[in-house]
Structure 1
Amino acid sequence: MVIRNIREEDDEALASIIRRTLEEFGANHPGTVYFDEAINRLSKMFQTERSTYFVVSDEENNKILGGGGIYPTEGLPADTAELVKLYLLPETRGKGFGKSLINKCLSFAKQAGYSKVYLESMDELSGAVGLYERLGFSYLNAPMGNTGHCYCGIWMMKEI
C-alpha cells in the first residue's frame, strides 16, 4: 500500500468511502461532509493553493482504501489549515495507515507555511478522535472557520 497524491480518477471511490464510513458509524447526518457535494470532486477541490489530498492506495490490486487532506478553510487564520476528509475503509484501520496519513498531512502543512492544524470531528468517530489525541491534537471549546459542518461537536488543534 502507498500514500500518494489524489488523481481525478480517485474521486468516485473516495466519495463512496466517505459516505460508507459515515453510514457505518451512524454519522450520516445533515451538517456533516456526508451531504457535502464537494466530496464528489475532491481532486478539483484540492487544486487550491496550499492544499493537498493524499490517497491510501493498494496499487497492486488497483483499489483506493481511503484518504485525507489539508485545506485552507475559509475563516481560519492565515497560519492555520484544516485536516479534512480523513476516512479509511475498515480493512485499513488499525494498521498504522491513519497515523501515517495524518503525519504526511502535517508535514505538508508545515512545508506549506502553516503553523497550526485544526480539525473537526464527532462523537460517532471516537476511534479517530483517540488517534488525534495520541498525535498531539488538543481540544478547543468552539469551532473555527467556515467549514459548513454544523453537526460536528469536536474541535481540535495542533501546533506544528
Structure 2
Amino acid sequence: MSQPEYHIRVITPNDDAAIAAVIRQVSAEYGLTPDKGFGVADKTLDQLSQVYSADRSCYWVIEHKGQILGGAGIAPLKGKSDICELQKMYFLPQLRGSGMAKKVSQLAFEYAKQQGFNEIYLETTAVLVEALALYQSLQFTPCQHFGDTGHDACEIAMMKTL
C-alpha cells in the first residue's frame, strides 16, 4: 500500500474556512467546547490567514488531494520578545499517526529560529493524550504559564529550547 501524499504549505485566505472546520471538529471530538476557554473559542478562528500574516508569525496547513487535514502555527508570545508560541495544532483522525505532526513541528521550529526566538511555549490539556505524547517526544517540558493567551482552560504549559 502506498503512502498518501501530503503537502505542507503556508495558509492562504482560501484555507480559512477549512482549517477552522478542522479545529472545530477535533475540538468537539475531545470535548473542548467554546464555552470553556479553549482555542476553538477564539474570535479570529475563521480568519487565521490574516492572524498569521502578522510579523514573526506563520501558519501551515497540511493538505491531501485538495482537502485540509490539519495545521499548526507559530506566533510571538505576548510580552516575551524571545519566546514564541506553538498554536492551533490540530489534525483530523485520518492524518494522525502519519508523521506529519512531527514534520510540521520541525518546520515551525526552523521558522522560529529564523525569526530569532530562543524558546517555544505551548498550552494544552490532559485530554489530548496524543498531543502530549508528541510534545514530550519533541523535548517540550512542563513549565509555568506565561502570557495572556486567553486559553485559561489549558491546564498544561510546556516549553522547548531551540
Query: Structure 2 residue aligned with 1:67, among 71, 79, 85?
Result: 71
Instruction: Work out the percentage of aligned pairs sharing the same amino acid.
Output: 38
Listed one character per residue, the Cα deviations across residues 15-39 of structure 1 (whole Å, up to 9, x for unaligned) are: 1100110110112252111111111
Listed one character per residue, the Cα deviations across residues 33-76 of structure 1 (whole Å, up to 9, x for unaligned) are: 11111111000000110010011011xx211111001011323x
The 1-side partners of 2:116 and 2:76 are apart by 11
The 1-side partners of 2:45 and 2:129 are apart by 22
TM-score, length of structure 2 as denominator length: 0.94
- Report 1:5-154 matches (<5 A): 5-28=10-33, 29-58=35-64, 61-75=65-79, 77-140=80-143, 142-154=144-156
The 2-side partners of 1:71 and 1:113 are apart by 12
Listed one character per residue, the Cα deviations across residues 99-132 of structure 1 (whole Å, up to 9, x for unaligned) are: 1111110110001110100000001111101100
The 1-side partners of 2:117 and 2:78 are apart by 14
Deviating above 6 A after TM superposition, structure 1's stretches of 4 or more consecutive aligned residues are none
The 2-side partners of 1:125 and 1:145 are apart by 22
In structure 1, the gaps of 5 or more residues are none
The 1-side partners of 2:18 and 2:39 are apart by 15
In structure 2, the gaps of 5 or more residues are 1-5
State the aligned residue count: 156
